[in-house]
Protein backbone atom coordinates (compact mmCIF):
# COMPACT_ATOMS: atom_id res chain seq x y z
CA UNK A 1 0.00 0.00 0.00
CA UNK A 2 2.80 2.32 0.89
CA UNK A 3 4.61 1.59 -2.37
CA UNK A 4 1.41 2.26 -4.37
CA UNK A 5 0.88 5.59 -2.61
CA UNK A 6 4.52 6.47 -3.15
CA UNK A 7 4.18 5.67 -6.86
CA UNK A 8 1.09 7.87 -7.20
CA UNK A 9 2.78 10.70 -5.32
CA UNK A 10 5.82 10.43 -7.55
CA UNK A 11 3.62 10.48 -10.67
CA UNK A 12 1.78 13.59 -9.50
CA UNK A 13 5.04 15.28 -8.58
CA UNK A 14 6.48 14.48 -12.02
CA UNK A 15 3.44 15.90 -13.79
CA UNK A 16 3.55 19.06 -11.69
CA UNK A 17 7.25 19.43 -12.52
CA UNK A 18 6.55 19.04 -16.26
CA UNK A 19 3.68 21.54 -16.17
CA UNK A 20 5.69 24.10 -14.20
CA UNK A 21 8.68 23.71 -16.51
CA UNK A 22 6.51 24.16 -19.63
CA UNK A 23 4.74 27.11 -18.03
CA UNK A 24 8.10 28.76 -17.46
CA UNK A 25 9.05 28.23 -21.10
CA UNK A 26 5.71 29.53 -22.34
CA UNK A 27 6.04 32.58 -20.10
CA UNK A 28 9.51 33.19 -21.54
CA UNK A 29 8.13 33.18 -25.10
CA UNK A 30 5.37 35.65 -24.23
CA UNK A 31 7.85 37.82 -22.30
CA UNK A 32 10.23 38.03 -25.26
CA UNK A 33 7.40 38.87 -27.67
CA UNK A 34 6.07 41.50 -25.28
CA UNK A 35 9.58 42.96 -24.89
CA UNK A 36 9.86 43.11 -28.70
CA UNK A 37 6.51 44.91 -28.82
CA UNK A 38 7.58 47.48 -26.22
CA UNK A 39 10.91 47.95 -27.97
CA UNK A 40 9.14 48.55 -31.28
CA UNK A 41 6.47 50.95 -30.02
CA UNK A 42 8.21 52.87 -27.23
CA UNK A 43 11.66 53.43 -28.72
CA UNK A 44 12.46 54.99 -32.11
CA UNK A 45 14.43 53.15 -34.76
CA UNK A 46 17.84 54.38 -35.82
CA UNK A 47 17.71 57.09 -38.50
CA UNK A 48 18.85 54.63 -41.18
CA UNK A 49 16.05 52.17 -40.32
CA UNK A 50 13.26 54.68 -39.74
CA UNK A 51 9.87 54.03 -41.37
CA UNK A 52 6.71 56.11 -41.34
CA UNK A 53 4.52 53.27 -40.09
CA UNK A 54 5.53 50.17 -38.13
CA UNK A 55 1.97 48.89 -37.67
CA UNK A 56 2.58 45.83 -39.85
CA UNK A 57 5.45 44.64 -37.66
CA UNK A 58 3.36 45.31 -34.54
CA UNK A 59 0.59 43.23 -36.10
CA UNK A 60 3.06 40.41 -36.77
CA UNK A 61 4.06 40.37 -33.08
CA UNK A 62 0.42 40.23 -31.96
CA UNK A 63 -0.26 37.49 -34.52
CA UNK A 64 2.62 35.42 -33.13
CA UNK A 65 1.25 35.83 -29.59
CA UNK A 66 -2.23 34.73 -30.64
CA UNK A 67 -0.94 31.83 -32.73
CA UNK A 68 1.30 30.56 -29.95
CA UNK A 69 -1.49 30.80 -27.37
CA UNK A 70 -3.89 28.96 -29.69
CA UNK A 71 -1.38 26.18 -30.32
CA UNK A 72 -0.77 25.74 -26.61
CA UNK A 73 -4.50 25.47 -26.00
CA UNK A 74 -5.39 23.22 -28.94
CA UNK A 75 -2.35 20.92 -29.05
CA UNK A 76 -1.00 20.35 -25.57
CA UNK A 77 0.67 17.08 -26.59
CA UNK A 78 3.28 19.01 -28.56
CA UNK A 79 3.73 21.85 -26.10
CA UNK A 80 7.49 21.30 -25.78
CA UNK A 81 8.30 21.34 -29.50
CA UNK A 82 5.86 24.21 -30.14
CA UNK A 83 7.43 26.26 -27.37
CA UNK A 84 10.95 25.58 -28.63
CA UNK A 85 10.02 26.71 -32.16
CA UNK A 86 8.31 29.90 -30.97
CA UNK A 87 11.17 30.59 -28.57
CA UNK A 88 13.60 30.61 -31.50
CA UNK A 89 11.27 32.81 -33.59
CA UNK A 90 10.58 35.30 -30.80
CA UNK A 91 14.24 35.55 -29.81
CA UNK A 92 15.22 36.04 -33.45
CA UNK A 93 12.68 38.86 -33.87
CA UNK A 94 13.84 40.53 -30.66
CA UNK A 95 17.51 40.46 -31.65
CA UNK A 96 16.65 41.58 -35.20
CA UNK A 97 14.74 44.58 -33.87
CA UNK A 98 17.32 45.42 -31.20
CA UNK A 99 20.56 44.98 -33.13
CA UNK A 100 19.47 46.12 -36.59
CA UNK A 101 16.33 48.19 -36.06
CA UNK A 102 17.46 50.20 -33.04
CA UNK A 103 21.26 50.15 -33.12
CA UNK A 104 21.91 49.43 -36.86
CA UNK A 105 25.04 47.44 -36.02
CA UNK A 106 25.28 46.16 -39.60
CA UNK A 107 24.97 47.98 -42.90
CA UNK A 108 21.35 49.16 -42.94
CA UNK A 109 21.30 49.07 -46.73
CA UNK A 110 21.96 45.32 -46.88
CA UNK A 111 20.44 44.38 -43.51
CA UNK A 112 17.20 46.34 -43.05
CA UNK A 113 15.30 46.25 -39.77
CA UNK A 114 12.09 44.25 -39.33
CA UNK A 115 9.79 47.29 -39.53
CA UNK A 116 11.14 48.17 -43.00
CA UNK A 117 10.88 44.58 -44.20
CA UNK A 118 7.35 43.90 -42.98
CA UNK A 119 6.21 47.26 -44.33
CA UNK A 120 6.77 45.74 -47.79
CA UNK A 121 3.85 43.36 -47.23
CA UNK A 122 1.58 46.38 -47.07
CA UNK A 123 3.01 48.31 -50.01
CA UNK A 124 3.56 45.28 -52.31
CA UNK A 125 0.66 43.11 -51.18
CA UNK A 126 -0.99 42.84 -54.59
CA UNK A 127 2.26 42.10 -56.40
CA UNK A 128 3.12 39.40 -53.86
CA UNK A 129 -0.35 37.85 -54.16
CA UNK A 130 0.04 37.73 -57.96
CA UNK A 131 3.43 36.08 -57.49
CA UNK A 132 1.95 33.43 -55.20
CA UNK A 133 -0.79 32.62 -57.71
CA UNK A 134 1.72 32.38 -60.57
CA UNK A 135 4.24 30.23 -58.68
CA UNK A 136 1.67 27.89 -57.15
CA UNK A 137 -0.05 27.39 -60.51
CA UNK A 138 3.22 26.30 -62.13
CA UNK A 139 4.20 24.14 -59.14
CA UNK A 140 0.83 22.40 -58.96
CA UNK A 141 0.72 21.67 -62.69
CA UNK A 142 4.22 20.19 -62.91
CA UNK A 143 4.03 18.25 -59.65
CA UNK A 144 0.56 16.84 -60.37
CA UNK A 145 1.67 15.70 -63.82
CA UNK A 146 4.67 13.93 -62.28
CA UNK A 147 2.42 12.18 -59.74
CA UNK A 148 -0.07 11.13 -62.40
CA UNK A 149 2.60 9.52 -64.59
CA UNK A 150 5.35 8.36 -62.22
CA UNK A 151 3.17 6.36 -59.80
CA UNK A 152 1.47 4.04 -62.34
CA UNK A 153 4.67 3.65 -64.38
CA UNK A 154 6.69 2.89 -61.23
CA UNK A 155 4.17 0.38 -59.94
CA UNK A 156 3.95 -1.42 -63.26
CA UNK A 157 7.74 -1.35 -63.77
CA UNK A 158 8.24 -2.80 -60.28
CA UNK A 159 5.69 -5.51 -60.98
CA UNK A 160 6.98 -6.51 -64.43
CA UNK A 161 10.59 -7.62 -64.17
CA UNK A 162 11.25 -7.32 -67.93
CA UNK A 163 10.12 -3.71 -67.96
CA UNK A 164 12.14 -3.02 -64.84
CA UNK A 165 15.30 -4.39 -66.47
CA UNK A 166 14.86 -1.83 -69.25
CA UNK A 167 13.65 1.15 -67.20
CA UNK A 168 15.98 0.92 -64.21
CA UNK A 169 19.29 1.53 -66.07
CA UNK A 170 17.70 4.52 -67.81
CA UNK A 171 16.38 5.93 -64.54
CA UNK A 172 19.72 5.32 -62.81
CA UNK A 173 21.50 7.31 -65.55
CA UNK A 174 19.06 10.20 -66.02
CA UNK A 175 17.66 10.80 -62.52
CA UNK A 176 20.84 12.39 -61.01
CA UNK A 177 20.85 15.10 -63.72
CA UNK A 178 19.41 18.38 -62.28
CA UNK A 179 16.22 19.47 -63.97
CA UNK A 180 17.62 22.96 -64.54
CA UNK A 181 20.09 21.51 -67.05
CA UNK A 182 17.17 21.27 -69.48
CA UNK A 183 16.26 24.94 -69.03
CA UNK A 184 17.94 26.33 -72.20
CA UNK A 185 16.22 23.86 -74.52
CA UNK A 186 12.91 24.04 -72.68
CA UNK A 187 12.82 27.81 -73.19
CA UNK A 188 13.68 27.47 -76.89
CA UNK A 189 11.39 24.53 -77.75
CA UNK A 190 8.33 25.23 -75.61
CA UNK A 191 6.03 28.14 -76.53
CA UNK A 192 5.93 29.98 -73.17
CA UNK A 193 8.02 30.29 -70.05
CA UNK A 194 5.12 28.85 -68.06
CA UNK A 195 5.19 25.69 -70.17
CA UNK A 196 8.97 25.37 -69.82
CA UNK A 197 8.75 25.81 -66.04
CA UNK A 198 6.03 23.16 -65.77
CA UNK A 199 8.20 20.83 -67.84
CA UNK A 200 11.24 21.40 -65.58
CA UNK A 201 9.25 20.76 -62.41
CA UNK A 202 7.76 17.64 -63.98
CA UNK A 203 11.22 16.31 -64.86
CA UNK A 204 12.62 17.11 -61.41
CA UNK A 205 9.71 15.50 -59.56
CA UNK A 206 9.18 12.51 -61.85
CA UNK A 207 12.26 10.48 -60.93
CA UNK A 208 12.01 10.50 -57.09
CA UNK A 209 8.34 9.48 -57.30
CA UNK A 210 9.15 6.78 -59.84
CA UNK A 211 11.96 5.35 -57.72
CA UNK A 212 9.76 5.46 -54.61
CA UNK A 213 7.00 3.58 -56.42
CA UNK A 214 9.36 0.89 -57.71
CA UNK A 215 10.99 0.46 -54.32
CA UNK A 216 7.56 0.22 -52.70
CA UNK A 217 6.67 -2.72 -54.96
CA UNK A 218 9.97 -4.44 -54.17
CA UNK A 219 9.45 -4.01 -50.42
CA UNK A 220 5.94 -5.51 -50.49
CA UNK A 221 5.68 -8.71 -48.46
CA UNK A 222 5.96 -11.67 -50.86
CA UNK A 223 3.43 -13.63 -48.80
CA UNK A 224 0.84 -10.94 -49.50
CA UNK A 225 1.55 -11.15 -53.23
CA UNK A 226 1.41 -14.96 -53.26
CA UNK A 227 -1.90 -14.92 -51.41
CA UNK A 228 -3.31 -12.46 -53.94
CA UNK A 229 -2.12 -14.62 -56.84
CA UNK A 230 -4.10 -17.58 -55.54
CA UNK A 231 -7.24 -15.48 -55.99
CA UNK A 232 -6.50 -15.09 -59.70
CA UNK A 233 -6.28 -11.30 -59.71
CA UNK A 234 -5.47 -9.55 -62.98
CA UNK A 235 -2.46 -7.25 -63.27
CA UNK A 236 -4.68 -4.20 -62.86
CA UNK A 237 -6.37 -5.64 -59.76
CA UNK A 238 -3.02 -6.70 -58.32
CA UNK A 239 -1.57 -3.21 -58.74
CA UNK A 240 -4.74 -1.39 -57.67
CA UNK A 241 -5.68 -3.47 -54.62
CA UNK A 242 -2.39 -4.96 -53.40
CA UNK A 243 0.73 -3.17 -54.63
CA UNK A 244 -0.49 0.44 -54.45
CA UNK A 245 -1.64 0.30 -50.78
CA UNK A 246 1.49 -1.59 -49.75
CA UNK A 247 3.78 0.81 -51.64
CA UNK A 248 2.17 4.01 -50.32
CA UNK A 249 4.79 4.70 -47.57
CA UNK A 250 7.59 4.51 -50.12
CA UNK A 251 5.60 6.54 -52.66
CA UNK A 252 5.03 9.31 -50.13
CA UNK A 253 8.76 9.33 -49.26
CA UNK A 254 9.60 9.83 -52.92
CA UNK A 255 6.82 12.40 -53.29
CA UNK A 256 8.22 14.47 -50.42
CA UNK A 257 11.69 14.52 -52.00
CA UNK A 258 10.05 15.43 -55.31
CA UNK A 259 8.15 18.30 -53.69
CA UNK A 260 11.35 19.73 -52.20
CA UNK A 261 13.12 19.47 -55.56
CA UNK A 262 10.11 21.12 -57.21
CA UNK A 263 10.44 24.17 -54.96
CA UNK A 264 14.14 24.45 -55.81
CA UNK A 265 13.55 24.04 -59.54
CA UNK A 266 10.69 26.54 -59.54
CA UNK A 267 12.75 29.18 -57.73
CA UNK A 268 15.76 28.77 -60.01
CA UNK A 269 13.62 28.85 -63.16
CA UNK A 270 11.77 31.98 -62.04
CA UNK A 271 15.01 33.74 -61.14
CA UNK A 272 16.49 33.08 -64.57
CA UNK A 273 13.76 33.73 -67.12
CA UNK A 274 10.42 34.61 -65.51
CA UNK A 275 8.43 37.85 -65.45
CA UNK A 276 6.31 36.89 -62.43
CA UNK A 277 6.37 34.62 -59.40
CA UNK A 278 8.10 34.64 -56.03
CA UNK A 279 11.51 33.71 -57.40
CA UNK A 280 11.24 36.49 -59.99
CA UNK A 281 10.20 38.96 -57.26
CA UNK A 282 13.35 38.24 -55.22
CA UNK A 283 15.67 38.32 -58.22
CA UNK A 284 14.08 41.46 -59.72
CA UNK A 285 14.55 43.57 -56.59
CA UNK A 286 17.97 42.07 -55.97
CA UNK A 287 19.05 43.58 -59.29
CA UNK A 288 17.95 46.99 -57.97
CA UNK A 289 19.60 46.33 -54.58
CA UNK A 290 16.26 46.71 -52.80
CA UNK A 291 16.97 44.39 -49.89
CA UNK A 292 13.80 45.33 -48.00
CA UNK A 293 11.80 43.60 -50.71
CA UNK A 294 14.36 40.81 -51.13
CA UNK A 295 14.03 39.82 -47.46
CA UNK A 296 10.24 40.20 -47.58
CA UNK A 297 10.14 37.87 -50.59
CA UNK A 298 12.32 35.34 -48.78
CA UNK A 299 10.06 35.44 -45.71
CA UNK A 300 6.96 35.02 -47.88
CA UNK A 301 8.51 32.10 -49.75
CA UNK A 302 9.46 30.45 -46.45
CA UNK A 303 5.88 30.78 -45.18
CA UNK A 304 4.49 29.31 -48.41
CA UNK A 305 6.88 26.34 -48.21
CA UNK A 306 5.97 25.71 -44.56
CA UNK A 307 2.25 25.81 -45.39
CA UNK A 308 2.56 23.42 -48.33
CA UNK A 309 4.75 20.96 -46.41
CA UNK A 310 2.25 21.04 -43.53
CA UNK A 311 -0.54 20.27 -46.00
CA UNK A 312 1.55 17.43 -47.45
CA UNK A 313 2.04 15.98 -43.95
CA UNK A 314 -1.70 16.05 -43.30
CA UNK A 315 -2.43 14.29 -46.59
CA UNK A 316 0.24 11.68 -45.84
CA UNK A 317 -1.15 11.02 -42.36
CA UNK A 318 -4.64 10.62 -43.82
CA UNK A 319 -3.64 8.05 -46.44
CA UNK A 320 -1.18 6.29 -44.11
CA UNK A 321 -3.37 6.42 -41.00
CA UNK A 322 -2.99 2.63 -40.76
CA UNK A 323 0.82 2.84 -40.75
CA UNK A 324 2.55 2.63 -37.32
CA UNK A 325 5.25 5.17 -38.28
CA UNK A 326 3.83 7.56 -40.87
CA UNK A 327 0.21 7.45 -39.78
CA UNK A 328 -1.66 8.19 -36.60
CA UNK A 329 -1.94 4.61 -35.45
CA UNK A 330 -1.18 0.98 -36.20
CA UNK A 331 -3.12 -1.38 -38.39
CA UNK A 332 -3.06 -3.20 -41.67
CA UNK A 333 -2.95 -1.75 -45.14
CA UNK A 334 -6.37 -0.90 -46.48
CA UNK A 335 -7.57 -1.91 -49.90
CA UNK A 336 -7.99 1.21 -52.00
* Measured distance CA(298)–CA(131) in Å, rounded: 12
For 290-299, which contacts have Cβ atoms below 8 Å and span 24 or more sequence positions? Answer: 291/109, 291/110, 291/111, 291/112, 292/112, 292/116, 292/117, 292/119, 292/120, 293/120, 293/124, 295/112, 295/117, 296/117, 296/118, 296/120, 296/121, 296/124, 296/128, 297/128, 297/131, 299/117
Confidence label for 163 from pLDDT (cuts 50, 70 and 90): confident
| pLDDT given for residue 23 in this prediction | 81
Where residue 20 falls among pLDDT bands split at 50, 70, 90?
Answer: low
Q: Chain-centre distance of CA 49, in angstroms?
A: 31
Each residue's pLDDT tens digit, 195-247: 999 999 999 999 999 999 999 998 888 888 888 888 888 888 888 888 999 99
pLDDT of residue 241: 87
226 CB-near residues (< 8 Å, 6+ apart): none
Q: What is the pLDDT of residue 219?
A: 86
> Which CB contacts under 8 angstroms, 24+ apart, belong to 58-66?
60/93, 60/114, 60/118, 61/33, 61/36, 61/37, 61/93, 62/37, 64/33, 64/89, 64/90, 64/93, 65/30, 65/33, 65/34
Report the 10 Å Cβ neighbour count for 228: 16
Question: What span, in angstroms and rounded, lies between the C-alpha atoms of 274 and 196?
Answer: 10
| Calculated CA dihedral for residues 198, 200, 201, 205, nearest 10 degrees | 140
Measured distance CA(95)–CA(56) in Å, rounded:
18
pLDDT at 324 over 50: yes
Q: What's the average model confidence in pLDDT over 135-148?
A: 96
The single-letter DSSP state of residue 46 is P
pLDDT tens, position by position, 239-297: 888 899 999 999 999 999 999 999 999 999 898 878 889 999 999 999 999 999 999 99
Closest CA to 115 of 57, 182, 34, 178: 57
Contact 197, 266 (CB under 8 A): yes
CB atoms within 10 A of CB 33: 21
pTM of structure: 0.84
Quick: pLDDT tens for 45-82. Answer: 998 888 888 999 999 999 999 999 998 888 777 888 88
Distance CA 305, CA 326 (A): 20
Residue 34 phi, psi (nearest 5)? -65, -40
Cα 94 to Cα 43, 147, 243, 246: the distances in Å are 13, 42, 52, 48
Q: Tell me the helices (H) and strands (E) count for the chain, helix number first.
A: 13, 0
Task: Evaluate whether 63 touches 80 at the Cβ level (below 8 Å).
Answer: no
Q: At what angle do helices 79-95 and 2-42 cross, to 10 degrees?
A: 20
Does residue 38 or residue 48 have the better pLDDT?
38
State how far the Cα of 149 lies from the Cα of 164, in Å rounded to an integer: 16
| CATH classification code of 124-319 | 1.10.3720.10
Q: Judge whether 300 and 127 are in contact, CB under 8 Å.
A: no
**Do 297 and 244 form a contact (C-beta atoms < 8 A)?**
no
Tell me if residue 43 falls in helix, strand or coil: coil
Average pLDDT, the chain: 87
Among residues 103, 164, 130, 167, the alpha carbon closest in space to that of 284 is found at 130
Tell me: pLDDT of 19 over 80. Answer: no
Amino acid sequence: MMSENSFRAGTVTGRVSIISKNSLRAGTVFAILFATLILTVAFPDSPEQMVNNNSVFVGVIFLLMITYGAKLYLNQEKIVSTTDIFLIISLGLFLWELLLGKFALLDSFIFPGPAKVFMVFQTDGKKMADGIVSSMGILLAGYSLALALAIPIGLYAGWKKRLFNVAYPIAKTVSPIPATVYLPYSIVLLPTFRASSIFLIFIGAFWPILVGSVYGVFSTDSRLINSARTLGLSDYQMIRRILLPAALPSIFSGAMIALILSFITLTVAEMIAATSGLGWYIQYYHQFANYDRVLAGMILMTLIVIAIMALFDRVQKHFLRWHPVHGEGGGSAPSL
